[in-house]
Amino acid sequence: MAAPVSPSGTSSGTSSGTIARTRRAILDAAVTVLGRDRSAPMSEIARAAEVGRSTLHRYFPDRAALVSGLYVQCAETIERTVGDLQLDQGEVPDAFRRLVAALFEHGQLVDFLFSEPQHNGYGWDDERWERAHIPMALLFVRGQDEGYFAAEFDADWFIRALWYMLSAGWEASAEGLPRHLALDRVVRTLTDGVVAHPERPTS
């Protein structure tokens, strides 16, 4: 007798750990495949994830469901990453650099999702996304109080500028700029701008 099927489309005989790993493998493969070719078929994603097409469709019946799953993963990943950084601890410059470096690691996922033409059509969770940014905003306010961040800007502009510069860094890295140089340029542009400072060494 076949194992009963759970509401998620997987058999109840399958462990939750296996379900989570398979789902993550599919989502990771989707980012890579769709990042190269947005018109790639679901079958190509299944091959990249090393699962059968029937397995892929049990988890994600169509492309819309798959992209929606990527949005959920993105929000969860950023929220978890930022929370783990403990941005309220340590010196502001150090915390800021930890933040930029950590977010840079998730460039492929975030950059793909923000270039999706139907961004809001896939159930994007604005509330969760905004919640993930609260520690960033608090870091910025703390930095202003300590004189590190300019007083004339607000937290919203800080977060916008952060994501825009990260996007530029991801794009440059994808085009061949060594990853460590792309990250360094993101940090330096956000902290020093592009105006020369003769007293500071160049890299």
Q: Report the SS3 class of residue 95.
A: helix
Distance CA 103, CA 166 (A): 8
Please tell me the predicted confidence (pLDDT) of residue 196: 81
Q: What is the pTM of this model?
A: 0.75
Distance of alpha carbon 37 from alpha carbon 191, whole angstroms: 34
Q: What is the mean pLDDT of residues 35-46?
A: 88
pLDDT value for 110: 76
Q: How many CB atoms lie within 10 A of CB 198?
A: 5
Q: Kindly tell me if the per-residue pLDDT of 57 is higher than 90.
A: yes
Structure tokens at 166: 């990260």
pLDDT classification of 54: cutoffs 50, 70, 90: very high
- Domains, the chain, ordered by start: 10-61 (1.10.10), 68-203 (1.10.357.10)
134 has pLDDT over 70: yes
Among all chains, which residue has been given the structure tokens 């306010």? 141
pLDDT at 119: 52
Question: 181: number of CA atoms within 13 Å, CB side?
Answer: 10
pLDDT for 85 beyond 70? yes
Of 10-24, 68-82, 90-104, the least confident: 10-24
pLDDT at 143 over 80: yes
Which residues are registered as beta bridge partners of 11?
5
pLDDT in tens, 154-175: 999 999 999 999 989 998 998 9
pLDDT band (50, 70, 90) for residue 70: confident
CA distance 170 to 183: 8
Say yes or no to pLDDT of 23 above 90.
yes
Quote the pLDDT of residue 188: 92
* Cα 81 to Cα 129: distance, rounded to the nearest angstrom: 12
Task: Compute the average pLDDT of residues 72-87.
Answer: 88
Does the pLDDT value for residue 9 go beyond 50? no
Contact between 73 and 109 under an 8 Å Cβ cutoff? The reply is yes
Q: What is the mean pLDDT of residues 10-32?
A: 80
Please give the C-alpha separations between residue 171 and each of 18, 65, 73, 146, 174, in angstroms, as whole numbers: 34, 26, 21, 33, 5
Cα–Cα distance measured from residue 140 to residue 159, given in angstroms and rounded to the nearest whole number: 9
